[in-house]
Amino acid sequence: MLHQNLEWFFPHKVEEAVKLIEQQGVILHGGGTRILKTSPKSIKGLVDVGRLNLNYIHHADNHFSIGSASTYADIIRYSLKTNKLLILAKALSEAASTPLRNRITIGGSLKDFPIWSSLYAPLLALNAQIEIAEKHEKILSLEEYLDSGMIKTKHLIKRIIVDDIPNIIGGVKRFSLIRFEYPLFTIAVVLQVKQKTVSEARIFITGVKGRHKRCKRAEHFLIDKELNDETIQQAEKHFAPKFVSDYKYSAEYKEHTAKVFFTDLLHELKGTLK
Ligand SMILES: Cc1cc2nc3c(=O)[nH]c(=O)nc-3n(C[C@H](O)[C@H](O)[C@H](O)COP(=O)(O)OP(=O)(O)OC[C@H]3O[C@@H](n4cnc5c(N)ncnc54)[C@H](O)[C@@H]3O)c2cc1C
């Protein structure tokens, strides 16, 4: 149950929202899907982001700018219309359900970072940047945002920036036994390939011990190699994410499944090469 005398705020300016959340017990409200589920008793006020003009997706100067009030559904619709942001849209279209995708915002999702996040693995693989509202513009990579521990502090996320890089191929795989269950892990692979040879690789998995992991050994192995069956078979040996056992699955089972999914994903990417 949320606090009975809960106060709602609907600011029109980012600066006002930032000031409001300086108060104890006052937090931002994006889609509300996490807040309503957990209903923390400490919440005294909610600052809605809906009137801050942060619901947009722009494409200019070879990058996409995605406002933090955009929902999963907004990104999927944009991708269908423009044939852009395909890796991200694929991941988000598999998340939760239609009514939830209509509500879940990019800002709320980034700040929340549930272990079943569909957003983090593709954004990290795409080397996304995040803008935080501060006195001076503060843009940092999503990896820095996580590694610096900033995610644990109170702040307002303004937008996500994703470079529009030509000639990249990529994909995402999530593991859940039933489609509508929370995924146990999500793997995202983004490769730059020139004449069938991998020149850049970014591979991330979420849902692992420590929540997220960059799979650097697998990235290094793939670089300068031709993406063929033999390379893919060898790459699996360099992909060893660590999991925590839970009441349903052992850590070993999850690691084995992740390896199978990783190999399948590389085969799918190989299939897209001309
Ligand atoms: C049944 C169910 C299944 C789900 N399945 C999936 C899934 O498969 N994949 C997936 O990715 N997600 C899934 N979700 C969504 C996920 O669990 C969270 O509920 C969601 O990411 C929170 O986003 P929100 O916009 O609703 O945030 P809110 O609930 O509004 O807020 C969450 C947190 O973020 C803060 N916040 C909000 N906006 C901002 C901002 N702009 N800047 C900084 N902080 C902010 C809030 O203060 C709060 O602390 C599922 C949710 C449910 C209920």
pLDDT averaged over 10-residue windows placed end to end, the chain, 274 residues: 83 97 96 88 93 98 97 98 97 96 98 97 98 86 96 96 94 90 95 94 97 98 97 97 94 97 98 88
Closest CA to 51 of 101, 8, 4, 104: 8
Do 183 and 161 touch, CB atoms closer than 8 A? Answer: no
**C-alpha span between 171 and 190 (Å, rounded):** 7
Which CATH number is associated with domain 168-272? Answer: 3.30.390.50
Angle between helices 86-93 and 72-82 (to 10 degrees): 130
The H or E element spanning position 94 is none
Domain with CATH 3.30.465.10 in the chain: 57-163
Q: Which residue has the tokens 């996040």?
A: 117
User: What is the SS3 assignment for 99?
Assistant: helix
Distance 237 CA to ligand 1 centre (A): 34
Fold (CATH) for 57-163: 3.30.465
- pLDDT the model gives residue 124: 98
**Which whole-number Å values give the CA distances from 106 to 57, 197, 241, 245, in the listed order?**
11, 34, 26, 29
Cα 189–114–254 angle (5° rounding)?
A: 55
Ligand 1 pocket, Cβ-based, cut-off 6 angstroms? 27-35, 37, 49, 68, 95-96, 100, 103-105, 107-109, 111-112, 114, 116-119, 156-157, 182-183
Domain with CATH 3.30.390.50 in the chain: 168-272
Cα 112–113–114 angle (5° rounding)?
A: 100
Paired tokens of 100: 């939830």
- pLDDT the model gives residue 1: 63
- pLDDT the model gives residue 41: 81
pTM of the entire structure?
A: 0.97
